[in-house]
Amino acid sequence: MRKTTSRAPLRAAATLAPALPLAGCTSRGAPSYVLFGAYFPLWLVSAIVGIIGAIVAHRVFVATGWAATVPYQLAVCTAIGLVVAVIVWLAGTGPFA
């Protein structure tokens, strides 16, 4: 008769292994800023600034008449907003900090 071994420890290790890098890289916590008396995480601040950047880009395109010549307005303004958000994120945490 064949003896079976329990695979529970192997399954537990395989399940928990992807979560190990999520433990955190710093001991001081996530970067946050005080706005209007409350703490906001940097990713939220950069996302809001990116959305504002996309709206400003759209307004500039409409005001200058480029909206008629630039194709795929949604993709272009979204890309501009993403670039603005990444620049804000890098200014807060990356090599520019």
Kindly report, residue by residue over 49-97, the tens digit of the pLDDT.
999 999 999 999 999 999 999 999 999 999 999 999 999 999 888 776 6
Query: What integer is the mean pLDDT of 23-29?
Result: 60
Kindly report, residue by residue over 31-42, the tens digit of the pLDDT.
777 878 888 888
Task: Report in angstroms the alpha-carbon separations of 59 from 26, 29, 35, 63, 73.
Answer: 40, 37, 26, 6, 11
At residue 32, φ and ψ (nearest 5 deg) are -140, 160
Q: Could you please report the per-residue DSSP string of 18-54?
A: GGGGGG-S-SS-S-EEEETTEEEEHHHHHHHHHHHHH
The pTM assigned to this predicted structure is: 0.65
- How far is the C-alpha of 35 from the C-alpha of 42, rounded, in Å? 11
- Give pLDDT, residue 2: 66
